[in-house]
A = this chain, B = another copy of it.
Amino acid sequence: MEKEKGVDFEEEMVESREWVLSKYAANGFPTSDHLQMRTTRVIITEDSVPEGHAMVQLLYISVDPYMRTRMNGLQGGLYFPQYELNQAITAMAVGRLIKSKDPNYQAADIVVSPFFPLAEYCVTPTTYFRKIDPDAGISLPDYISAFGLPGFSAWIGIEVLGNPKPGENVFISAAAGGVGMYAGQLAKLKGCRVVGSTGSDDKVKLLKEEFGYDDAFNYKKEKDFDDALSKYFPNGIDVYLDNVGGEMLEAVLNHVNNKARIPVCGAISQYNQVWNESKGVRNLLNIVGKEVRMEGFLLASYLNRFGEFVMAMESHLKQGKIVSKHKIYYGIETFLESLESIFSGSNAGKVLIQVCKQ
């Protein structure tokens, strides 16, 4: 090809590993049958970067439950844009620019974008870049956690859609995960009584001791979610930030107060199964009797609130009113393992990959 003429290939390229999806996984957790790491060569000469693009070395990659919903091949009407087969899948990430063909950015700038290829290096449009000031007193991982998908999801769920009043009862499922950890702290800052469900006794302790939850329970130890909610919500539930769907949602609908709000952030209990093989929620009639508002949301629809969110979250972080917990995997080769850990519930806090030493 014309542009390779005269290039010393050995010196002016880097090897980059990236993750591709070669087959959709309708049922069960994806394996190496579905997701593979492949090595590509990224040319680093100036003219290999088109106008409006930049070459970036990725530093931190966000690993989030929603990624699973983009790998299922959409059985029968379920929504979520699917990853393209045999292309690098995408993720929110923080990266450092190596070269730039956009006058707004230059080499060595640190940027965050929700749509990086899940790779070590890439050449990508700068469209969704946001520049980071590394001296602002915020750690780089916080740009994909507190300021990233989980922090923004928690804020939309609690501040915008749930909007609990002081003293109201707030329930959060998957409470020790990325979204849950911020959501609980945001609800506490609003003066609510906050209870979380999570998957281990250690995480119950974490919720109460580090994230300020008023109470928490290990759902794996509860035989009957209805009984658990009777115990933890003697005065009913006013806001339920739903991260799990399924049986817990059904149990919640038997404990909602009048005019309860259920912002639906995700349904992690449903992601590894074909939708019409799941059990179903049988008591939606309670939505009428208790005048419940259930509302699903995607962050893309709330970008007009992003500035307000960043200001609020930055203030909370700097004053120590909100803390982050990160579970960091090292090396891009850990992607499958790190994603799986979200579904097995083996970690607490926001899961992310540190791609290289900074």
Write the residues of chain A forming the contact surface with B, with a CB cutoff of 8 angstroms: 69, 76-80, 226, 245, 249-250, 253-255, 259, 264-267, 270, 275-276, 278-298, 301
**Bound Cα distance A320, B348 (Å):** 63
Query: How far apart are the CA atoms of A284 and B298 in the complex, in Å?
Result: 15
Option from B76, B266, B281 in Cβ contact (under 8 Å) with A280: B281
List of B residues within 8 angstroms of A296 by Cβ: 286-293
The winner among A79, A254, A267, A298 for most chain B CB atoms within 10 A is: A79
Whether B293 pairs with A295 at a CB distance below 8 angstroms is yes
Instruction: List the 4 shortest-distance A-B pairs measured between CB atoms, nearest first.
Output: A280-B280, A79-B289, A77-B254, A287-B296
Q: Contact: A275 with B264, CB < 8 Å?
A: no
Judge whether B288 and A264 touch: CB under 8 Å: yes
A77: which of B69, B265, B275, B286 is its contact (CB, 8 Å)?
B286
Q: Write the chain B residue with the least CB distance to A297.
A: B291
Q: How far is the CA of A117 from the CA of B143 in the complex (A)?
A: 62
- Given A77-B283, A80-B288, A291-B297, 8 additional A-B pairs, CB 8 A: A76-B254, A78-B289, A80-B289, A249-B284, A264-B284, A266-B285, A266-B288, A270-B285
Shortest C-beta distance, A73 to chain B (Å), equals 14
CA distance A79 to B69 in the complex (A): 33
Q: Is the CB of B297 within 8 A of A288?
A: yes
Q: How far is the CA of A289 from the CA of B266 in the complex (A)?
A: 9
Cα distance A264–B291 in the bound complex, in angstroms? 9
Q: How far is the CA of A264 from the CA of B287 in the complex (A)?
A: 7
Residues from chain B with a CB closer than 8 A to the CB of A284 are 245, 249, 264, 267, 281, 294
By the criterion CB–CB under 8 Å, are B295 and A267 in contact? no
CB distance from A336 to the nearest CB of B (A): 23
Chain B residues positioned under 8 Å from A282 (CB to CB) = 275-276, 278-281
Give the distance to chain B from A66, nearest Cβ to Cβ, in Å. 9
What residues of chain B lie closer than 8 Å to A295, measured between beta carbons? 287, 291-294
Q: State in angstroms the CA–CA spacing of A45 and B59 once bound together.
A: 89
CB of A302, distance to nearest CB on chain B (Å): 10
Known: A76-B226, A77-B255, A226-B76. A285 touches B275 (CB 8 A): yes
**Complex: chain B residue closest to A161, CB-CB:** B293
CB distance from A15 to the nearest CB of B (A): 36
Residues of B within 8 A of A301 (CB): 259, 291
Tell me the complex Cα distance, A249–B291, Å: 17
User: Measured between alpha carbons, how far is A291 from B297 in the docked complex, in Å?
Assistant: 5
**Cβ contacts under 8 Å, A253 to chain B:** 77
Closest to A81 in B: B289
Whether A289 and B245, one on each chain, are in contact in the complex, defined by CB atoms closer than 8 angstroms, is no
Q: Given the complex, which residues of B lie within 8 Å of A279, measured CB to CB?
A: 280, 282
Which residues does chain B contribute within 8 Å of A249, judged by CB atoms? 284
Least distance between A343 CB and chain B CB atoms (Å): 15
A-B contact pairs, 14 of them (CB 8 A): A77-B226, A77-B283, A78-B283, A249-B284, A264-B287, A275-B285, A276-B283, A280-B280, A280-B281, A284-B294, A288-B297, A290-B296, A292-B295, A294-B295
Nearest Cβ in chain B — how far from A274, in angstroms? 9
A226 to B75, CA, bound (A): 13
